[in-house]
Amino acid sequence: MSTVQEIQEAITQLPEEARMTLLQWIHSQEEAEQFPEDPELLQQAEKGAHQLDAGLGITLGQARRMTSQWN
């Protein structure tokens, strides 16, 4: 298989479940290109998750009240 046309034809022959799996994989590749991994951002997200697990977070309502005071 070397042309787009051949690939498209092969895809039409796949069972529905396999096509859905392929579609999910394609979308994951697009997301990876749009949002490359940033080690610093991932570290901050991990830190935030640990703080939430430890009960150190705030509710969405509290966050909204805080941000409305910033203006």
For every residue of the chain, DSSP letters joined together read --SHHHHHHHHHTS-HHHHHHHHHHHHHHHHHHHS---HHHHHHHHHHHHHHHTT----HHHHHHHHHTT-
Mean pLDDT of 28-36: 74
- What pLDDT was estimated at residue 1? 65
What is the arithmetic mean of pLDDT over 45-55? 90
* Mean pLDDT for the stretch of residues 17-22: 94
pTM: 0.43
Are 26 and 10 part of one and the same domain? Answer: yes
Mark residue 58 as left, alpha or beta (left: phi above 0; alpha: psi -120 to 50; beta: remaining): beta
**Statement to judge: residues 14 and 30 lie in one domain:** yes
Q: Residue 21 belongs to what domain range?
A: 4-34
- The verdict on 8 and 29 lying in the same domain is yes
